[in-house]
Amino acid sequence: MERNIMNELVEWKRRDKDRMPLVLYGVRQVGKTYILREFADRYYKNSIYINFERMAAVADFFLGELNPDRLLWLIEEYFGEKIIPDETLLIFDEIQACERALASLKYFCEEAPEYHIAAAGSLLGVAIHREQYSFPVGKVWMKTLYPLSFDEFLEAMGQRHYVSMIREHFQRMEEMPRAAHYELLGWYQRYLFIGGMPAAVNEYADRKSLINVPEVQNLILNAYTADMAKYASSSDSTKIRNAFLSMPAQLAKENKKFQYKLIRKGATAGLFGDSIAWLIFSGVVLSCDRVTRGELPLIAFRDVSSFKLYLSDVGLLSAFTGILPENIIRNELSPLYRGALAENYAAQTLKANGYDLYYWTSDTPVSELDFVIQKEGRIVPIEIKSGENVKAKSMKHFQKMYHPEFMYRISEKNFGEENGICSIPLYAVFCI
């Protein structure tokens, strides 16, 4: 399974003086361990893999002095392998389970930068936001691994030729051949059901059947729920779980702004704010804040009291709601939920491409744009349409107010451009 992040890992390996230890974030079961071990197999002569949740004896090495020479000697003795600069990749997995190991990365950066160390942790985002947790700020290179984006999904399905074709037509803003366009919309519909979690993608790729995909996805969702109980207090885990369970209802509204009352009657930001933060830091959900103005820089006009939440993976959202693939293909879903799936898909794709997520609303007249991003120093509004109905009143209102150079309208329609609005097919969001 090819992942786009591999190219960035290779660039990290090739760095000389400015290379720091790598810390790879990502929600549980997104493929962090796989990609690091695959990276080691392809580009290093040998590797040493340490899982701090399972290897308590190795974790004990870090209870003493965090001297790199001492730690390397202990690890070499334990595994019976030499650790050689530029030739050995040292993998620290589930590093959130050993705070001292995370703290040691500072000393590896300062005193032994010639050694290649890659760390990963599923609940690392939650751990480092705890009080008293030590994080080596400025001493590590941080990256996040997201679920497979649609281009990676196509490659996993043996459809690599379509990826370059889509990119070429995006660059020229030129219509795709009709047959290819409709075949790709079919793959997009499958992606809405399967999503980008590696286990779900592998299940479909291996069996060429969707029957067992929901079972795989539900195991992942159950693992997330188990993490809530494991890494939070009993009272907090109940609130986190209730907030998580409200996600389908949050997205099944015309206005997808997060509403605490949908968690339970009487719920407020004061009661559930920390629960929402836990879900965001864990990577289980993605946050999208409202901006009050469509001007640079967007972060200056952020309204943190108004936000939307999306699941990290659209396939998990499909499993969460129990919909079947034929419900998507036969267009049997509520228009509101069909739109929710398309919006969630766009959110996770934009996030994987490195964009901060914002949306824009206006009171007079009432208008809303699903996303507004900063792309190459420009403000780019994005509107998501799940079908071919592409009326764009909000986009025209935004255009009149802020005069963006160009705008993206995402729908089932083919590529095209008119009056500054670029029509982008749903399967081409990864090109943005």
Three-class secondary structure of residue 290 per DSSP: strand
Q: Are residues 303 and 204 in the same domain?
A: yes
Per-residue pLDDT at 143 exceeds 80: yes
Q: Are residues 189 and 335 in the same domain?
A: yes
Residue whose C-alpha is closest to residue 282's, from 122, 141, 98, 96: 122
Q: Are residues 307 and 390 in the same domain?
A: yes
- Of the three residues 92, 126, 144, the one that is the final residue of a domain is 144
- Region 399-416: what's the mean pLDDT? 96
Q: Are residues 177 and 69 in the same domain?
A: no
Q: How far is the C-alpha of 135 from the C-alpha of 67, rounded, in Å?
A: 17
Residue-level pLDDT at 132: 61
Q: Are residues 19 and 96 in the same domain?
A: yes
Residue-level pLDDT at 419: 87
Is 57 within 8 Å of 129 (Cβ atoms)? no
- Region 345-352: what's the mean pLDDT? 99
What is the average pLDDT score of the chain? 95
- Of the three residues 144, 172, 193, the one that is the final residue of a domain is 144
Q: Are residues 117 and 190 in the same domain?
A: no
- Of the three residues 90, 122, 144, the one that is the final residue of a domain is 144
> Which CATH number fits the domain that encloses residue 128?
3.40.50.300
- Bridge partner residues of 362 (DSSP): 367
Split at pLDDT 50, 70, 90, the class of 7 is very high
Q: Are residues 160 and 139 in the same domain?
A: no
- Region 227-233: what's the mean pLDDT? 89
Q: Are residues 203 and 109 in the same domain?
A: no
Q: How far is the C-alpha of 117 from the C-alpha of 63, rounded, in Å?
A: 19
Look up the domain containing 109 and give its range.
Answer: 5-144
What's this model's pTM, rounded to 2 decimal places? 0.95
- Quick one: which H or E segment has residue 211? none
Residue-level pLDDT at 134: 74
Domain count across the chain: 2
Q: Are residues 360 and 218 in the same domain?
A: yes
Split at pLDDT 50, 70, 90, the class of 299 is very high
Q: Are residues 214 and 316 in the same domain?
A: yes
Work out the percent of the chain whose per-residue pLDDT is above 70. 98
Is 381 within 8 Å of 375 (Cβ atoms)? no
Per-residue pLDDT at 131 exceeds 60: no
Q: Are residues 137 and 191 in the same domain?
A: no
Q: How far is the C-alpha of 375 from the C-alpha of 68, rounded, in Å?
A: 41
User: Cβ contacts of residue 31 below 8 Å, gap of 6+?
Assistant: 1, 3, 145, 198
Q: Are residues 248 and 118 in the same domain?
A: no
Q: How many helices (H) and strands (E) does the chain have?
A: 18, 14
